[in-house]
Structure 1
Amino acid sequence: MDFFVFMSEQWLLVSLLVVLLYAFALSERYKAGTPASVHEVTRLINSEGGRVLDIRDKSEYSAGHIVDALHIPHGQVAERIAELAKVKDKPLIVADKMGQHAGAVGRLLKRDGFQVRRLQGGMVEWSNQNLPLVKG
């Protein structure tokens, strides 16, 4: 009950806190790279020479991945970042299973100067849209 009394008496303070939390969450989200829909990703690949970095484990990658995707499991990106230098001047789309690791990898890559985008919904969304996958 005291909580609601406090909120009603300090509505301005509570409102400010909510706005600040929202701004912080939004800021953190975009530090990891802008989310891109599957349609935006296909445009980036076809029109701007974008490359996909698939950060899933080897078995998931082998089961189906985007054509010409680079593969580095999310736990190895930090030590293998030099392998990505050749694509630093193009959009780099980070793809994982459902988006759970793409943010952390995106932050790391963005800090290193990459043009990072995150595949919104991950490879699950790509598959749900019946877009092409390569096995192996």
Structure 2
Amino acid sequence: MNFLLDNWHLVLAALTSGGLLLWPLVTRSGGAHRVSVAEAVMLINRERAVVIDVSEPAEFAAGHAINARNIPLAGLETAKGLPTNKTLPLVVMCPSGARASRAVATLHKRGHEKATSVIGGLAAWREAQLPIEKSAT
């Protein structure tokens, strides 16, 4: 007991470092549904995940993942273009990944519990040299 009292600063440092090590696990399980580009490709190939791009139409036309459906974030709550089978995994993308993370929360509210966003968005997809297509505007 004297050791703990005499070395309270070491105990505090140990507890702090342990908490910082556990923080990513706590925040990820708390609803931050995100996957890497490689995990997204596995979901698409193995589980027939549907790619939803929440970019604005002009951004989508400039480049998007092949076979992605464009449903802008602003219209996601009332969108009709989502799969009716809510058990299908959804891989959500946008140029950077920021809007996609917000879109996942909306999709979960709509019953799509397997919705995940791609870490880094389309920029990470391009960096991984995965196929991109452009649409006519």
TM-score (norm 2): 0.74
Q: Select 2:93's aligned residue among 88, 92, 95.
A: 95
Contact 2:77 2:110 in 1 (8 A): no
Partner of 2:38: 39
Partner of 2:52: 53
Aligned-partner Cα distance in 2 for 1:76–1:91: 20
Aligned-partner Cα distance in 1 for 2:60–2:45: 21
Amino acid at match of 1:98: S
Structure 1 residue 61 displacement after superposition: 0.7
Q: Structure 1 regions of 5+ residues with no counterpart?
A: 1-7
Structure 1 residue 84 displacement after superposition: 1.1
Contact 2:48 2:89 in 1 (8 A): yes
Indicate whether 1:75 and 2:74 are aligned. yes
Greater length-normalized contact order (CA 8 Å, ≥ 6 residues apart): 1
Aligned-partner Cα distance in 2 for 1:76–1:32: 21
Aligned residues: 123
Aligned-partner Cα distance in 2 for 1:24–1:130: 32
Aligned-partner Cα distance in 2 for 1:59–1:96: 12
Contact 1:50 1:90 in 2 (8 A): yes
Amino acid at match of 1:71: N
Higher Rg: 2
Aligned-partner Cα distance in 1 for 2:64–2:45: 16
Aligned-partner Cα distance in 2 for 1:40–1:74: 23
Structure 1 residue 93 displacement after superposition: 0.6
Q: Secondary structure at the match of 1:84?
A: coil
TM-score (norm 1): 0.75
Structure 1 residue 27 displacement after superposition: 4.7
Structure 1 residue 87 displacement after superposition: 4.4
CA offsets per residue over residues 78-131 of structure 1, 9 Å max, x none? 121x43143422110110111111222101111222111111110000011111
Contact 2:71 2:81 in 1 (8 A): no
